[in-house]
């Protein structure tokens, strides 16, 4: 049972990987044309399972409960097929949260959170972390106004000076 379900899902991911599109609308249309039947087959297959037990039962119940959310991929090409990239993106935060248990004070934990937020945002904006911090330390003390917008990782000047 599980092997067949995995095989059906594998075909969905394989097909998604090879879609050809130029816009998100085209992607959604291609998904409807090429993936819809595959996903329908998967859900038909698991819904016909005869009294599954244990973890398989839980997996089937979860998959069926999430079906309407999964099918959003056919409405909007921006909806990812999997949330793995998001989980990978938040993994450092969970490690930071776990490590923050060892902060010696609340202010220390807050400072650590600010630091990790700056680093994470800079990474997401493809900045060299060292160059970005140097840029901040060189320019923030000398700024003429209190507006910090120009120092955010996506600001043009930060991108120009610190982009990887």
- pTM for the full predicted model: 0.59
Contacts of 102 by beta carbon, 8 Å cutoff, 6+ apart: none
Neighbouring-strand partners of residue 127? 163
pLDDT tens per residue across span 129-149: 999 999 999 999 988 878 888
pLDDT tens per residue across span 24-53: 999 999 999 999 999 999 999 999 999 889
> In the block, which residue shows the tokens 């819809």?
36
- Residue 42: exposed, middle, or buried by beta-carbon count in 10 A (0-12, 13-18, 19+)? buried
Neighbouring-strand partners of residue 163? 127
pLDDT at 60 over 90: yes
pLDDT at 100 over 80: no
| Domain boundaries of the chain, sorted by first residue | 2-74, 84-162
- What is the chain's mean pLDDT, rounded? 92
For the segment 6-23, the average pLDDT, to the nearest whole number, is 96
């Amino acid at each position: 049972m599980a092997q067949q379900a995995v095989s059906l899902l594998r075909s969905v991911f394989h097909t998604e990987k090879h879609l050809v599109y130029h816009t998100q609308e085209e992607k959604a249309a291609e998904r409807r044309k090429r993936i819809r039947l595959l996903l329908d087959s998967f859900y038909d297959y698991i819904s016909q399972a005869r009294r599954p037990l244990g973890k398989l039962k839980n997996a089937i119940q979860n998959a069926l409960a999430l079906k309407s959310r999964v099918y959003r991929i056919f409405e909007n090409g921006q909806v990812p097929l999997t949330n793995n990239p998001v989980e990978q993106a938040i993994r450092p935060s969970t490690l930071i949260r776990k490590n923050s248990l060892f902060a010696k004070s609340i202010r220390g934990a807050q400072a650590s959170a600010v630091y990790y937020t700056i680093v994470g945002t800079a990474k997401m904006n493809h900045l060299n972390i060292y160059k970005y911090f140097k840029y901040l330390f060189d320019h923030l003390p000398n700024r003429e106004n209190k507006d910090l917008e120009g120092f955010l990782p996506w600001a043009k000047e930060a991108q120009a000076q610190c982009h990887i």
